[in-house]
Structure 1
Amino acid sequence: MTETLAQRAYARIRQDLLEGFIAPDTVLSERALAARSGISRTPLRSALSRLEREGVIARLENGAILVRSVSFEHLLEIVQLRQALESAAAGRAAQAGMTPELAAIRDVMAEYAEGRSTAFDEFWAEDDRFHDAVARTAGLRLLPGILTEQRATARRCTITRTHDRFADQAREHIAVIDAIARGDAAAAGAAMALHFDNVRARFLGWLGR
C-alpha cells in the first residue's frame, strides 16, 4: 500500500510540475506537499527521492525542496537531440509505410491547421501522439521512451507554455505525415528536420518578446 501511495504521490507532483501548477524555482516543504497530495510523509519521501534522482527537485541545506528550473540552453539542446533522432525516425517510417494511427493524427492536425483553438496541454498531448506514432511506425522501440523523458524535461521550461496558437506546428506535422504516406524517406526526414528548425526559431522568437 505504501508503494502504491508513493507512486500516486510521484505521479501527482510530477503532473503538477508539468502543467505549471508548481512553478520552477519554487521552494516547498514536505508538509506542504503532503497536504497537497493528501498522504503521509513516508510515501511522500519515497516519491521525492525518485524526483530528486531524476533531477526534477533538489534538497536544500535546511531540508526544503527546490523545484529545479530548466534553462533555455538546456531546452535548445533537447531540440537539437530530438531533431537528429526524429529526422532519422521519419525517414524509416516512410520506408515502413503509412498507418491508420498516423492517418487519424493527420485529421486532427488538419483541424488545428485550419485554426482550431485549444489549450496548451491539449495540443501538447496531440503533439505527443504524433511524435510517438512516427517513432513506432519506424519500428524504433526505445525511441518513444527517450522522447517521453526529453519532452517532460522541456515542458518544465516556462517558455514552452507561452504559446497558444498551433497552426504552424500542425502544418509541419502534416508535411511529415504526407511524406511518410508517399513513402518518400528523404522528404519525411527533411520535413521533420525543418519542423525542429521552426521549433527552435519559435522558441528564440518568444524569448525575444
Structure 2
Amino acid sequence: MSGGTLSDTAYERLRDDIVAGRIAAETVLSERALTETLGLSRTPLRAALSRLESEGIVDRLSNGVVLVRSVTVEQLLQIVQLRQKLEAAAAARAAEHGAGAELLAIRARMQEIVDGAPVTFDQFWLEDGAFHRAIARAARLELLPAIIDEQRSVARRCSVTRTYDTFVDQAGEHVDIIDAVAAHDAQLASARMAGHFDHVRARFLGTFDAS
C-alpha cells in the first residue's frame, strides 16, 4: 500500500469521524495516539492532517497542537441562507421537468416517516441528503449536488444539528415540495423550498429558546 493511499485512507477516516461527531469539536488530535489508532506512520498521517487543515476542518496552532475546528451557529445560519437561495431556484427549475422515479420513491419514504415510521438521526440525515440531491438532479443542475454535500458536511459539525429526535415536520415539507414539482408548479415549488429552509432556521433557533 502506497503512502498516498495510506494518507487518503487516514484523511477519509478522520474526516468521516469529525463530520459524524465521533470526534467532537475542540478535540486535540494527538499524532502519537492517531498513529497507533490508525496503524500508520507519521508521514501519511501528517499529509492527512494537512489536507484537513487546508479544508478548514482542523487548525494547527502555533505550538503544533492540532485542534478540531468548531462550526458556530452563525456559520450554520449562513449555510441555511445560502442553500435557501440556491435550492429554491433549483426546485422551481425541477418543476419545469417534473418528478421522476427517484423523487417519487423519496416521496413514498418521506410519507412513511410522516405516518409514523421510526427513523434515527443518522438515517434521516442520509435520506434528507438524498432528497436535496434529487431535487438538484431533477433541475438538471450538475454541480449543485456536490455543493449541497459540502455545505451539509460543514453544517453537521455544528452540535445544534444533532438536537432533534423527530423528523415528521421535515419529512412532510419534503413531501409538499415533491408534490409541487410533480405538479409542474415552479412558483409553488420554489416557495415551499424557501419555506422549508425558513422552518429549518426556526428549528435551530428554537433549540436555544427551549434551553
1:117 is paired with a residue whose SS is coil
Distance between the aligned counterparts of 1:46 and 1:198, measured in 2?
A: 40
Note if 1:10 corresponds to 2:11: yes
Aligned position for 1:122 = 123
Aligned position for 1:61 = 62
- Structure 1 residues 63-78: aligned runs within 5 Å: 63-78=64-79
1:38 positional shift: 2.2
Note if 1:35 corresponds to 2:67: no
Aligned position for 2:148 = 147
Distance between the aligned counterparts of 2:103 and 2:198, measured in 1?
A: 22
Distance between the aligned counterparts of 1:182 and 1:100, measured in 2?
A: 14
Distance between the aligned counterparts of 2:37 and 2:178, measured in 1?
A: 42
What TM-score, normalized to structure 1?
0.97
Identical residues among aligned pairs (%): 58
1:35 positional shift: 2.2
- Structure 1 residues 174-185: aligned runs within 5 Å: 174-185=175-186
1:14 is paired with a residue whose SS is helix
1:44 positional shift: 1.0
Aligned position for 2:50 = 49
Q: Which piece of structure 1 moves more, 38-47 or 179-188? A: 38-47
Distance between the aligned counterparts of 2:195 and 2:74, measured in 1?
A: 20
Distance between the aligned counterparts of 2:82 and 2:69, measured in 1?
A: 21
Aligned position for 1:158 = 159
- 8 Å Cα contact 1:159-1:207 kept in structure 2: no
2:137 is paired with a residue whose SS is helix
1:58 is paired with a residue whose SS is strand
1:165-184 per-position Cα deviation (integer Å, ceiling 9, x unaligned): 10000000001100000010
Aligned position for 2:138 = 137
1:135-168 per-position Cα deviation (integer Å, ceiling 9, x unaligned): 0110111111111111000000001011111000
Distance between the aligned counterparts of 1:170 and 1:25, measured in 2?
A: 32
1:32 is paired with a residue whose SS is helix
Aligned position for 1:19 = 20
| AA partner of residue 130 (structure 2) | R
Aligned position for 2:206 = 205
| AA partner of residue 30 (structure 2) | S
Note if 1:101 corresponds to 2:102: yes
1:51 positional shift: 0.5
